[in-house]
Amino acid sequence: MFLTISTTGSAARPATDLSFLLHKHPDRAQVFSTSYGDAHVFYPEASVERTTAALLLEVDPPALVRRGRKKGRGGAPDAALAQYVNDRPYAASSLLAVALRTVFASALRGECKALPERAADPLPLRVELPVVPARGGPVLVARLFEPLGWQVAAEPIPLDPQFPQWGESRYVRLVLEGELRLSDALRHIYVLLPVLDDSKHYWVSPDEVDKLLRYGEGWLPGHPEQKLITSRYLARRWSLTREAAQRLELARLADADDIEVEAIDNAVAPEEPAEAEERPAPLAVQRREAVLAELRAAGAARVLDLGCGQGQLVAALLKEPAFTEIVGLDVSVRALDIAARRLRLDRMGERRSSRLTLLQGSLAYTDNRLKGYDAAVLSEVIEHLDLPRLPALEYAVFGSARPRTVIVTTPNVEYNVRWESLPAGHARHADHRFEWNRAQFAEWAEKVAARHGYQVRYLPVGPDDPEVGPPTQLAVFTLAGESQNENQNENQKKEETVA
């Protein structure tokens, strides 16, 4: 199995820098023993204009591997070269991927103390693999590599050149060209060779999910063939594939820029009185006040703010001692970072900080950390999920976490015609996957309540327009059979016990 990586350069950016980036000296042929045989690294050419590094893996049958290990490293690669450069079409290419990781570990991580800026920069690269087992053929090869910025040439290799009528083998000669960072290029190859091969030579254990996410970072989330890559890389082990899909979804959402301030929400509703001093509070503030009032009325002490964003509601909850335990959860690490900073979490006194927990997690998955709370708030969150994922959120909140009270707010799309700054037919926020009218929201809420044993009532937030209703719709779900009074009594009882 054989792979070459070439780059071109000039006096200012010599191609020989490749040897620094790969951490392998251009004047020496080196041998590394891997579990599957010896991996040789050498440079067929090394000039300022053009440098090529070659990785050649000599796969030993198990007995040879053992013997080879006893012998240790060494050998005379030059003399033996001819015997390596033969056609081994049965060779599994996940072996080469493992060799790549073993031999070029630092380059894969993008580390290069000597030339850090070169490691961080794209360079013109040409990667050639003379024989790649490719299930799915040249078409799949292109679908895997092209979205990553490669120009792909995948030439099918005939089963036997002497008998063209036998057709093509499942092997291709692959040439990839592009301007990429070396570490990205190596990570693409490391992950995608076994995907093309589609049969791993070793048992795929759960830590392969970590590897996939580590080496897929920055390019696998959002790749159009993400599903196929994940499933094949994990040898179609369903439970692992599912785990990877969940973690990739988290990564994608954490990257997505869905936490920008909802500008239009912070604007003042247009139907305010004329006098400046009587301007109503921005809609976001009115919403927070409405949510707080409902939480107080429910007698909730332990509260979840699900999709807490930058923590405005969490801050308000902290100010009221009646809320003894506050959990803010969001899928976005960036939002949580901003929340922690705004709340001055690092300088918060122990008493206050002991009431607060910030968690990263996705509401699209059940989460045991969310069980046992009095109330949950989903303020302007549901519309950020793709509709097909909403049942998952429904189950996670109403089926699994199951707090006594759930408060949900979402825009009322009917009101959009009243926002002067909003072009007709536009959603209020770029990341809104849907916006419902009052009937649609009620239809969803009734079904959720019926399925999970809650009762539901609705409140307007903001000016309740006689035609189009309020800008924000709010629903309060209460676990059936647990009225407000009971909650309040319970709270009173708690207070009495404390006293």
Q: Which residues bind ligand SAH (CB under 6 A)?
A: 253, 258-259, 307-309, 312, 330-332, 335, 362-364, 379-381, 384-385
- The torsion defined by the Cα of 308, 397, 321 and 472, in degrees rounded to 10, comes to 60
Residue 441: beta bridge partners?
A: none
Nearer to ligand SAH, 253 or 475 (CB): 253
Shortest distance, position 255 Cβ to ligand SAH, whole Å = 11
> In whole angstroms, what is the distance from residue 238 CA to residue 431 CA?
31
Min dist. Cβ of residue 320 to ligand SAH (A): 17
Q: Which is nearer to ligand SAH, 126 or 433 (CB)?
A: 433
Taking the least distance from each CB to ligand SAH, the nearer of 97 and 385 is 385
Is 305:406 a contact under the CB 8 Å cutoff? no
Measured from the CB atom, is 187 or 288 closer to ligand SAH? 288
CB of 244 to ligand SAH, least distance (A): 17
Least distance CB 150 / ligand SAH (angstroms): 32
CB-nearer residue toward ligand SAH: 43 or 323: 323
Measure the CA–CA gap between 160 and 158, rounded to whole angstroms. Answer: 5
Two tokens, residue 212: 């996939």
Nearest to 470 by CA among 459, 482, 479, 460: 460
Task: Record the tokens describing residue 169, joined without a space.
Answer: 């083998």
User: Is residue 409 within 8 Å of residue 436, measured between CB atoms?
Assistant: no
Q: How far is the CB of 250 from ligand SAH (least distance, A)?
A: 9
CA gap 102, 259 in Å, rounded: 40
Nearer to ligand SAH, 84 or 419 (CB): 419
CB of 330 to ligand SAH, least distance (A): 5
Cβ closest to ligand SAH, residue 183 vs residue 286:
286
Our CB check for ligand SAH shows the closer of 235 and 359 to be: 359
Q: If you count them, how many residues does the chain have?
A: 499
Contact 171, 114 (CB under 8 A): no
Closest approach, Cβ 85 to ligand SAH, in A, equals 52
Rounded Cα–Cα distance for residues 37 and 365 (Å): 43
Smallest gap, in angstroms, from Cβ of residue 367 to ligand SAH? 10
DSSP codes of every residue in 240-286: HHHHHHHHHHHHHHHHS---S--HHHHSPPTT--SSGGGPPPPHHHH
Q: What are the distances in angstroms from CA 3 to CA 71, 110, 169, 173?
A: 25, 19, 19, 11
Q: What is the DSSP letter of 374?
A: S
Residue 280: burial class (beta carbons within 10 Å; 0-12, 13-18, 19+): middle
Please give the Cα distance from 220 to 232 (Å, whole number). Answer: 13
Smallest distance, ligand SAH to C-beta of residue 326, A = 13
Distance in Å, CB of 264 to ligand SAH, minimum: 12
Pick the closer one to ligand SAH by CB: 58 or 330.
330
> Which among 334, 340, 339, 331 has a CA at the least distance from the CA of 367?
331
Neighbouring-strand partners of residue 168: 158
Query: Of all residues in this chain, which one has the CB nearest to ligand SAH in the complex?
Result: 309
Residue whose CB is less far from ligand SAH, 312 or 487: 312
Q: In what order do the strands lie in the sheet with 405-411?
A: 356-360, 325-330, 302-306, 375-379, 405-411, 472-479, 454-461
Give the residues across from 410 on adjacent strands.
473
- Bridge partners, 50 (sequence order): 8
Nearer to ligand SAH, 213 or 259 (CB): 259
Q: Which is nearer to ligand SAH, 200 or 432 (CB)?
A: 432
What's the DSSP call for residue 171? Answer: E
Q: How far is the CB of 165 from ligand SAH (least distance, A)?
A: 55
Cβ 378 to ligand SAH shortest distance, Å: 7
